[in-house]
Amino acid sequence: MNEQQLIEDYAPKKDFELTEFVIYNEHGDLTNIYDLQETNRTTTLFWDAVISIPREDNQVFVKEARFDEISIQYRDDSHNVRILLRSTLDKNVWYWLFSAAKIYDSLYNAFLWKAIFAKHIFSWADVRADILLMDFKENFYEWVTEKWNHDKEFRWWLSWMQGKTDFRGVVNTCGHFLHNQAKNLNAEVLLRLTFFRDIGHAKNQLEEASLKTESQKQHEKTFVTPTVFRWFKDVFPGRLFLVTQNINNQSSQSTQAPPTLDVKNSNEKSEFRILSHNKCTQFIFLEKETVMLDGISFAVGDTVEVYPDEDEADDEPLICILTELKTEGFKLLWLYTRNQTLLKNLDQDSHPQANQELFFTRHGDFLALSEEYLTRLNRLCGCFHVEDEGWYKFVEKYRVGDCVLINPIPEELTKFYTIACVEAFNHQKKSVTLRRFLRFHEVREEKWGGVNELNELLYSEELVFEFKNFDKPIRFCHVEYFNYSDWLAYYPDNRNPLPVNLQYFGAGDHANEQIITRFKPYHQKVSNETKLCGLDLFCGSGSLSRGLEDSGFVECRWAFDKYFEACQTFRQNAKYDNVVVMHESVNKILSDAVKNINKKIPKRGDVEILMAGSPCQGFSTLNRQKGSSKSQVNNSLIASFASFAEYYLPKYLLLENVAPFIKEPVFVKLIACLLEIGYQVKFGLVSGEQIGCPQSRVRTILWGAKQEVVLPDLPPVTHDSGEILRGITKPKYISFPKITIERVIGKLPRIQTGVLWFPSFPDHRINTFYKNYHRDKEIMKIIPKEPKADYFTALERGLIPEELQIVNSTGSPFCQRINKDGVFSTITTNIRFLDSDIIIGQIEDQYKIIGNAVPKTMSFALGIQLGYALTDPFHRSAWGSQME
């Protein structure tokens, strides 16, 4: 029977009970009723069902009945709701969904769950004013369980949350549905649901009007400070607006004169000549204090001019600084002129004192000397033995209880560092007693797997040995005790399975073990450290600053971005409640800061670290319109980052961008500009794959530091990367195996090929209304199952029917299968968020937010390097990394 016959045969009956029903779309695919409420476009769905006719004791089967409207009836005295479908043939006829067919049960329960969720929210609004999204983090759970926990059906409903008490992700996922349902409420209750604005519905009209249209933004000039304007005015002609009010010369902001080097012209050509300078760093590990050469006394920290041999083509003198004196010679660090650095590539050097600057480098050297040249306190022949140098450095750097990474024990064939704990020092033998920790995989034959096995260690009473190989690469490693029973008590219902530092897959050389009790958790080790007040520019979702916060050395106080959904994502995941998140253009922020007209914006002197992941689309190799107005506006925001640096003069700068940025001419300009402002600079490429992120994407990282503080290093490689990545060094030894795709997503529910949605998770959704959804779903079912097979593989094998073939294809990989033992490619958005993070917006917004975010494993590892710099007042790590 069809619906028309049903209505005609059983008139004037206006409501029917549907049993054994299924609901599907025009393609015949079973679908969720929720799709009607997910979009504002008109959509028609179909149902088949058995209808009971009580008076006739009869049942009829109805097929292909259409509907495009639903109604949800709520009752205050019941946990459940009643869901009705409205006929398209007769608007007075309604069908009550009574019981679903077994094949449709999971889809119906998913919608029923959301309908009940809406009922509880609206009931809550009757007794509470101004419900914000943040109220769903804990407050909603407390209210709803107190009211309904006695109800058996409610407990079934609550079980879908799998122990979680945070409903914010579900609210965001159900945003359209909840908003459409709320339209039926009275105005007083609707006004209380202020969380709609938090998730992008019913945005404040005044706020939206304050942001310009997209076409206007493309012509908006970038506000810059004077020094930045001088460096970038020729790079972005006509696109920069000079801000001059209340900006003093940067030198007036510092009471300490920068380190200087007095280089005078001289006709005298002795082999060595000492140069006078203001020492800017302290040196330790002194084996010798002075050395006599050509009648000149040199000391560690002195700057020396060295003339090349007469037979060398270049007769320009070289300049170096002495860093260590040894029995057989001394170590030195070369200082480069601007023409010996990448600054030589500047088309026009705008620095007013370009010829009077020298730069520290990472290039060291060793100059061997005869013994008679060496003195110690003006006495011949120092008494230290060179073979003991490593011992003294080790004693100076480490303490009993510290954990270290050392090269693998010789008899073992492995690429993983050995992890050990310092148990004792033997000063007589000049040796150290180490206790080795076994990795979990070393005691069983199975492959890496499980929850914690990548960084799980096992304690042994027997693996204690004497260690003397101090010339081998050694560095700190954090090991902490993790008691399973304590975890269950602290994290009830498995809502948050691991402390945040242990959720980063070992980034930053972190390890975890479950036996011993004397190793403090990471957060306790850094809890007393002074945190830098941070500003996150172009903050996006906050993954850059959040990773640094989790490292324990930064507290982000201000975050600015023009993307509303990204700002709201930042706000919901913020670690500290006092952070000021502003949905505003950085040009307006800088202008207001200079004019001092907005109390929410930090004042000069408030910001200690400036973090930025500036818009990178203009530099990306995937951008085919690099010369477009929009790309040029995005590119010019590099000048905005430099302007914030010049205005606020924070102690530290951290910039992240795409890998190709490091090859752009504007990058050289940025380096030169920051140097003139007064910053040390260190930059390089960092691979997400080598630092615990399952993606082959490489990023440009730039550190900046004021001259009086230690410049942080780039993070060490901690994870295996399989293939050698272009522009990235692959070390001989690493700490952890590669984080594979299988490890990250292998425990997700197994669904059928082509299925894009799993209904048992309330916060899971997929956009089934994009243009080619049905075509793509069918194509996915056809793709061969070997890794890297894609649409074109299937097309070449004649597997794609004509009706599914793509017209005007770009040739890029499409519907490509991945290798479970590999990592995601550059084009795929990677795993950058913690499971507990909330990502605001519709699906398209979430794709963009995730795709633009910095991997938190990377930012966490960068934070650890910042911590080393902050806790290293004598520059030990800086000199050590350069000379070893």
How far is Cα 565 from Cα 846, in angstroms, rounded to an integer?
A: 8
What integer pLDDT is reported at residue 445 of this predicted model?
Answer: 54
Look at the alpha carbons of 576, 582, 586, 592 in this order and tell me if their dihedral is positive or negative. negative
H or E stretch at 171: helix 168-173
- Decide if 395-522 and 529-716+855-883 have a common fold: no
Per DSSP, the three-state class of 575 is: coil
432, 400 contact by CB (below 8 A)? no
Lowest-pLDDT choice from 405-419, 563-577, 716-730, 743-757 = 743-757
What is d(CA 30, CA 21) in angstroms, rounded to the nearest whole number? 11
Lowest mean pLDDT among 419-433, 440-454, 738-752: 440-454
pLDDT tens for residues 572-584? Answer: 999 888 999 999 9
**pLDDT attached to residue 572:** 94
Mean pLDDT to the nearest integer, 9-37: 83
Q: For residues 505 and 528, is the Cβ–Cβ distance under 8 A?
A: no
pLDDT at 348: 79
Find the mean pLDDT for residues 530-547: 94
The pLDDT of residue 327: 63
The pLDDT of residue 539: 94
Higher pLDDT, 53 or 618: 53
Q: How many CB atoms are located within 10 Å of the residue 151 CB?
A: 14
In contact, 115 and 178? CB cutoff 8 Å: no
pLDDT at 72 over 70: yes
Tell me which residue of 702, 704, 657 sits closest to 677, measured CA to CA.
Answer: 704
Q: What is the C-alpha to C-alpha distance for residues 538 and 657, in angstroms, rounded to an integer?
A: 11
| pLDDT 10s digits, 375-395 | 333 333 333 445 677 888 888
pLDDT tens-digit readout, 249-292: 544 444 455 555 554 444 444 455 555 544 444 444 444 567 77
653 touches 679 (CB < 8 A): yes
Split at pLDDT 50, 70, 90, the class of 458 is: confident
Let me know if domain 272-280+288-383 sits in CATH 2.30.30.490.
yes
Q: Could you report the per-residue pLDDT of 741-770, keeping only the tens digit for each?
A: 888 787 777 766 656 566 667 766 665 545
> Do you find a cis peptide bond into 12, omega within 30 degrees of 0?
yes
Predicted local distance difference test score (pLDDT) of residue 590: 96
Asked if residue 633 lies in contact with residue 239, where contact means CB atoms within 8 angstroms, the answer is yes
What are the structural domain ranges in the chain? 3-202, 272-280+288-383, 395-522, 529-716+855-883
Tokens of 632: 């040029």
The rounded percent of the chain whose pLDDT value lies above 70 is: 74
Lowest mean pLDDT among 181-190, 202-211, 219-228: 202-211
DSSP for 461-521, please give it.
Answer: SS-EEEE--TTS--EE-EEEE--HHHHHHHSGGGSS-S-GGGGSTTTTTEEEESS-S-SPP
* pLDDT at position 411: 62
Q: What is the mean pLDDT of residues 850-873?
A: 88
- Residue among 37, 30, 22, 191 at smallest CA distance from 118: 37
Residue 839 CA to residue 59 CA, distance in Å, equals 47
CB-based contact 556:576 (threshold 8 Å): yes
Q: Which pLDDT score is estimated for 203?
A: 54
Query: What are 389's two structure tokens?
Result: 């140098």
pLDDT at residue 636 tops 50: yes
Is pLDDT above 90 for 347? no
pLDDT for the residue numbered 253: 45
Q: How many CA atoms lie within 13 A of 335 on its CB side?
A: 21
pLDDT, mean of residues 28-42: 71
Q: Kindly tell me if the per-residue pLDDT of 790 is higher than 80.
A: yes
Q: Provide the residue type at 752 as one letter.
A: Q
Beta bridge partners of 240: 222
Q: Does residue 246 have a pLDDT over 80?
A: no
pLDDT for 740 equals 85
Q: Using the 8-state DSSP alphabet, how is residue 41 labeled?
A: S
What is the structure's pLDDT at 349?
Answer: 81
> HSE (CB half, 13 Å, CA atoms) of 712?
26
**How far is 581 from 564, CA to CA, in rounded Å?**
10
pLDDT at 450: 46
Nearest one of 308, 288, 307, 300 to 373, comparing CA atoms = 288
**pLDDT score of 19:** 95
Phi/psi class of residue 649: alpha, beta or left (left: φ > 0; alpha: ψ in -120 to 50)?
A: left
**Helix 665-677 to helix 629-648 angle, to the nearest 10 degrees?**
20
Q: Is the confidence at residue 29, as pLDDT, over 50?
A: yes
Q: Determine contact, residues 536/563, Cβ cutoff 8 Å.
A: no
Question: What do you get for the CA distance between the two ends of the chain, in Å?
Answer: 84
Tell me the C-alpha distance between 832 and 829, whole Å.
9
- Amino acid 647 reads Y
Closest CA to 237 of 636, 546, 763, 762: 636
C-beta of residue 715 within 8 angstroms of C-beta of residue 686: yes
Q: Selecting from 3.40.50.150, 3.40.50.10300, 3.30.70.100, 3.50.30.50, what CATH number does the domain 529-716+855-883 have?
A: 3.40.50.150
857's enclosing H/E stretch is helix 856-870
> How does DSSP classify residue 297?
E
Q: Which of 370, 389, 383, 385 is nearest to 292 (CA)?
A: 370
Known active-site residue 815: no
Question: Rounded distance, CA 686 to CA 700, Å?
Answer: 6
pLDDT at position 380 is: 32
Question: Would you state the pLDDT for residue 372?
Answer: 40
- Strands 478-481 and 510-513 come out as parallel
What pLDDT, on the 0 to 100 scale, is given for residue 812? 76
CA distances in angstroms from 322 to 109, 364, 495, 621, 682, listed in the order given: 73, 10, 55, 43, 21
CB crowding 804-842: b at 16 or more within 10 Å, else e: bebeeeeeebebbbbeeebbbeeebbbbbbbeebbbbbb
pLDDT, position 556: 97
Considering 210-214, 738-742, 764-768, the range whose residues carry the highest mean pLDDT is: 738-742
pLDDT score at 376: 36
**Residue of 174, 403, 539, 616 marked active site:** 616
Half-sphere exposure of residue 731, counting CA atoms within 13 Å on the CB side? Answer: 20
- C-alpha distances out from residue 859 to 54, 234, 297, 836, Å: 65, 33, 45, 17
pLDDT beyond 50 at 480: yes
pLDDT reading at 626 higher than 60: no
Give me the DSSP letters along 241-285: EE--TT---GGGG-SSPPP-B-----S---SEEEE-B---S----
**Structure confidence at residue 521 (pLDDT):** 77
Q: What angle do CA 338, 341, 346 make, to 5 degrees?
A: 70
Q: What is the pLDDT of residue 495?
A: 47
The pairing of beta strand 532-537 with beta strand 554-561 = parallel
As a whole number, mean pLDDT of residues 142-164 equals 93
pLDDT classification of 491: cutoffs 50, 70, 90? very low
Q: Nearest 5°: phi and psi at 242?
A: -80, 125
**Predicted local distance difference test score (pLDDT) of residue 180:** 83
CA angle 75, 78, 81 (to 5 degrees): 60
Of residues 503 and 487, more confidently modeled: 503
**pLDDT for res 21:** 96
pLDDT at 708: 86
Confidence of residue 312 (pLDDT cuts 50, 70, 90): low
Rg (CA), the chain: 33
The answer to whether residue 806 scores a pLDDT higher than 80 is: yes
pLDDT confidence of residue 607: 98
Q: Please report which confidence band the pLDDT of residue 518 belongs to, taking 50, 70 and 90 as the band edges.
A: low
Q: Name the band, by pLDDT with cuts 50, 70 and 90, for residue 359.
A: confident
Could you tell me what percent of the chain has a pLDDT over 90? 35
The DSSP annotation for 660-707 comes to GGGGSHHHHHHHHHHHHHTEEEEEEEEESGGGT-SB--EEEEEEEEET
Arithmetic mean of pLDDT, 90-119: 92
440 pLDDT tier (thresholds 50, 70, 90): confident
- pLDDT(549) > 90: yes
When pLDDT is averaged across residues 803-810 and rounded to a whole number, the result is 78
Q: Which of 755, 674, 703 is nearest to 864 (CA)?
A: 703
Amino acid at 851: G
Q: What pLDDT score was predicted for residue 211?
A: 46
Global pTM value: 0.83
pLDDT at position 699 over 60: yes
Give me the chain's average pLDDT, please: 79
> What CATH number was assigned to the domain covering residues 395-522?
2.30.30
